Amino acid sequence: MKLQINGDFREFNGPLTLSALVEILGLKPDRVAVELNRLIVAREHWPETNLREGDRLEMVQFVGGGSPGTSGLPRCDSGLKLLPCAMATSTGLR
């Protein structure tokens, strides 16, 4: 099964759940946020979230005090910037 993770295409043996993918990638579930096809998936739903051919995932690993490039996730510089809540609301973004 071909999945796009942080902009990079990767092949996996299916069927596969989101929980299984996080485990295969060697990520710590309590330190990862996942967006599947532009929707954030709550951690409690990962075991029941089946992945399909062509799914697009954005995975963010929270790291404290580490050095760049040690997360094991593919790098992707989309140019997107996070806005503080106050700025997002004042610009009409929600």
As a whole number, mean pLDDT of residues 26-47 equals 95
pLDDT band at residue 5, thresholds of 50, 70 and 90?
very high
- CA 25/CA 46 separation, integer angstroms: 14
Distance CA 11, CA 62 (A): 24
Two structure tokens written together for 72: 């094991």
Q: What are the structural domains, with CATH classification, of the chain?
A: 2-63+72-90 (3.10.20.30)
pTM (2 d.p.): 0.67
Tens of pLDDT, residue by residue over 49-94, are 999 999 999 999 887 765 555 556 656 555 555 555 433 334 444 3
AA identity, residue 53? E
